[in-house]
Amino acid sequence: MEEVPPASAPDAAPSRRRPTGRARSLGLNVLSAVIGIGIWWAFAASGFQLPTPPQVLFRAGDLIADGTLQEDVVASLRRVFIGFAIGVVLAVPVGFLMGWYPVARGLIEPWVQFFRTIPPLALIPLTIVLMGIDETPKIFVIFLASFLACVIATFQGVVSVDRTLINAARVLGAGDFTIFRRVVVPASTPFILVGMRVGLGSSWATLVAAEIIGAQEGLGHRMQNAQLYFDLPTIFVGVISIGVLGLLMDRALLVAEQRLTIWQERR
């Protein structure tokens, strides 16, 4: 019987693999952060009235050591999360109603467009008069910022659904509820998630102004107090903390978007 030659062993030195897209993107992100810190340091060293990165780092260490930064982060996160969550929970069904039923669109859309032209910050005096200075007005203005962004995105997602898909489902005998659940909702999901990301950014952008309303803790409150004493390192700690927290929450939504829309063709 003829002996079968053994399979050739793999090369001892494996060929170098090209970095994956995720690794390349992470590397570019790190490089961008290093370049940004370098530019910041160069501006501070050249005479601009800016604290250097070590000064900000030492100030952050002091705030962490006495527990101030942790308390402010928890307070701001709680306000943003509650306001954002309420905004999304209400915006999605309202957006679906506007997109699916012409009567609902005619009744609701003018009000949505009306309030979109009014910055949530402009409503702060009104919320103070109507709601006092406790947590309610702070959460309300954050809710309004996230709601308006998400409801428009959801509405646009519904009206952008390909009519061919809906007509094909009707030909196959699907009712309105089945079409809505199996066609409209999946097709609108990418729009909803984009609206959530925009709404999250609006929530964080509104936070500092919202914490003007009688707040005793929070990143915005800490930055406003630091402004009175020209404490630039503390202001920078607050700005960087908001940016990092917002970035992490946005990345979490991006991961959810990739998993929920895995069927969608990407570049």
**Amino acid 224: pLDDT:** 86
pLDDT digits (tens, 9 = 90+) for 96-121: 999 888 898 899 989 988 888 888 77
CATH class of 53-260: mainly alpha
**Amino acid 166: pLDDT:** 79
Provide the H-helix boundaries in 101-162: 102-116, 124-131, 135-159
Query: Which residue in the block uniquely carries the two structure tokens 């699907």?
Result: 174
Q: Which helix (H) or strand (E) holds 34?
A: helix 21-45
Local confidence pLDDT in tens for the 267 residues of the chain: 445 555 444 444 444 455 566 788 788 888 888 898 899 889 888 878 888 889 999 999 999 998 889 999 999 999 999 999 999 999 999 999 998 888 988 999 899 888 888 887 788 888 888 887 788 888 998 999 899 989 999 998 888 887 787 778 888 777 777 877 788 888 888 888 888 988 898 888 888 888 877 678 888 888 888 888 888 999 999 999 998 998 898 888 888 877 877 666 555
Question: 189 CB contacts (<8 Å, ≥6 apart)?
Answer: 157, 260, 261
CA distances from 153 to 28, 112, 234 (A): 30, 12, 36
Distance between CA atoms of residues 3 and 5, nearest Å: 6
Contact (Cβ atoms closer than 8 angstroms) between residue 210 and residue 220: yes
Query: Which residue in the block uniquely carries the two structure tokens 């952060």?
Result: 33
**Amino acid 123: pLDDT:** 83
Distance between CA atoms of residues 57 and 237, nearest Å: 8
CA distances from 34 to 25, 41, 73 (A): 14, 10, 24
Distance between CA atoms of residues 18 and 23, nearest Å: 10
CA-wise closest residue to 40 among 248, 266, 240, 260: 240
| Torsions phi, psi for 173 (to 5 deg) | 95, 10
- The identity of residue 30, as a single letter, is V
Question: 96 CB contacts (<8 Å, ≥6 apart)?
Answer: 154, 158, 180, 184, 188
CA-wise closest residue to 234 among 247, 221, 243, 245: 221
**Amino acid 267: pLDDT:** 55
Distance between CA atoms of residues 49 and 123, nearest Å: 33
The structural domains of the chain, with segments of one domain joined by +, span 53-260
